[in-house]
Structure 1
Amino acid sequence: MRVVVTRPESSARRTAERLRNLGHQPVLLPLTRAIHHPDAAAAALAGPHAALAVTSAETLRVLSLLGERLTPFLGQTLYAVGETTAKAAEEAGFRNIRSGAGTGAELAELIAGYASTFDAPLLYLAGKPRSPKFEDGLRTNDVRFVTAEVYEMTPIAYDEVYIRSVLLEPPVDAVFLYSRENARLFCDFAAPHLRELASVQFVCLSDNVAEIVPREFHRNIKIAGHPDEDGIFALL
């Protein structure tokens, strides 16, 4: 299968290697690039907080840029949205990691079980744009928190000729979609060619992502049973 990988390049290379090992042909089409704000992360860490929360491995890439400035915080409790983010936190040097089941809402529920022990707000180190579900879940559970935006994902511009060559020469069989913004950008780029992509499979990380896929392609949607890349690969 020819599979479009829409992750940022830093993550897409690992996904591409995994696809090749399974006999598929990866087609890299990163839709966004990360702009890191390590000074914003350092300033946020310097403020009062009881624990850290992270919903993307990209945040750990930002924190790793702090070098020795991160060392005093590596023993703090860090709540990670899922296994991939937890692994990135471990690789960054964090020693007290609690991992959620893979979604922001589930992570909020996990943290709520510990919030009564907090003597300061939870510090959520976030990206932009992001799903509101984690922060909404914290509010619903009356968890005090502050959010610091430490990176932003900016769209990459492609011309239509390039998009056509990627998607149709020859036609792709599937596309991996990881977030609502990711899905929106892909569908915008692919819009002029959707009639020629009638059989493409939209492999989505979650129901939330699948909602963005145009209605006429809903029969082509596959949704991961677990919101991580293992769940996506299980659908191939």
Structure 2
Amino acid sequence: MHLLLTRPDAGAEPDPFTDALVAAGHRVTQAPLLSIVPTGAAPAFDGAGGLIVTSRNALKSVAPFPDAAFALTLYAVGPGTGALARTLGFRHVIEGPGTGRELAALIASDADPAVGPLVHLAGETLAFDLKGALAARGFTVRTETVYRAEPAGALTADIVSLLRQGAFDGVVLMSPRTAKTYAGLISEAALGAAVRPMLHFCLSDAVGRALEALGGVRVAVARLPNSQEMLALIARKASDSL
């Protein structure tokens, strides 16, 4: 399949998700719709009872970490974030299944509020009130906004041309904000009819709902909101099309 990948550009850093798509035989064209901009915040980790990370972008926006951070238990939203945390040197990583709500339940069952406040490394826009959910269970959460995501102002001329030609079999959308940005840019470029035959691979139902403004596009949603399930979804649909 020829896939349009809308995730933020990983730059020089290896991207296991893209590598897995290419290894599976897919052709991947990058069209980042969000740019990750670190805020420059320098979180304090002394006295913390643990870390919460709900995005790989948060880890990349803070690194390098001070030595004190690596001794803390790190609660990662999903396997991809957990894998990056281990690569950076974190020794105690506990992974959730992919959403903030599920991660909050996991933390509540595993952590002790008496140990100290939890430091949440987060983006400017939060999809779930994790701090509020944990506060209701007796935890103190200190949110450190370490990055913001800036949406693209337009699709590039090359991408617009390829979309008009029907060059893509599918588009990969990994967050509601990315999907909302995609839907807006597609509408502005009058490409609604061109993208309707494409399969829109969505990380979650919330991502799929963000496409409703396009009206009638084909949507396939991962069984769980993590990169492994997205890869499995794409593999299933590619097999069905053979």
| TM-score bucket (shorter structure) | 0.7 to 0.9
What secondary structure, in the 3-state scheme, does the structure 2 residue paired with 1:65 have? coil
Aligned residues: 229
Aligned to 1:58: 57
Percent of counterpart pairs with the same letter?
29
Aligned pairs for 1:1-236 (under 5 A) are 1-10=1-10, 14-38=16-40, 40=41, 42-46=42-46, 48-66=47-65, 70-158=66-154, 161-191=157-187, 192-214=190-212, 216-217=215-216, 220-236=218-234
Please give the alpha-carbon distance, in whole angstroms, between the structure 2 residues aligned to 1:127 and 1:173: 31
Q: Measure the CA separation in 2 of the matches of 1:29 and 1:228.
A: 20
Q: Larger % of helix: which?
A: 1
**Are 2:35 and 2:151, in contact at CA under 8 Å, matched by a contact in 1?**
yes
Per the alignment, in what secondary structure is the counterpart of residue 44 of structure 2? helix
In structure 2, do the counterparts of structure 1 residues 101 and 43 end up closer, same or farther at CA, with 3 Å as the change threshold? closer
Instruction: Using the TM superposition, give the Cα deviation of residue 202 of structure 1 relative to its aligned residue in structure 2, in angstroms.
Output: 1.1
Contact 2:3/2:170 (<8 A) preserved: yes
Shift in Å, 1:71: 0.9
Instruction: Extract unaligned runs of 5+ from structure 1.
Output: none
Evaluate the alpha carbon distance shift between residue 77 and residue 225 of structure 1 in structure 2; reply closer, same or farther with a 3 A threshold: same
CA distance in 2, matches of 1:160, 1:30: 10
Structure-2 change in CA distance of 1:75 and 1:160 (3 Å): closer
User: What residue ranges of structure 2 are gaps of 5+ in the alignment?
Assistant: 235-242
Q: Contact 2:120–2:143 at 8 Å: present in 1 too?
A: yes
TM-score by length of 2: 0.85
State whether residues 77 and 100 of structure 2, in contact with CA within 8 Å, keep that contact through their aligned partners in structure 1.
yes
Distance across 2 between alignment mates of 1:193 and 1:230: 30
- The verdict on how the C-alpha distance between 1:59 and 1:159 changes in structure 2, with shifts beyond 3 A counting, is closer
The CA distance in 2 between the partners of 1:103 and 1:194, in whole Å, is 30
Shift of the 194–152 alpha-carbon distance from structure 1 to 2, 3 Å rule, reads same
Is 1:115–1:143's contact at 8 Å kept on the other side of the alignment?
A: no
Residue 171 of structure 1: how far off its partner (Å): 3.0
Q: Is the 8 A contact 2:49 2:116 kept in 1?
A: yes
Residue type at the aligned position of 2:27: Q
The question of whether the paired residues in 2 share the 8 Å contact of 1:129 and 1:152 is answered with yes
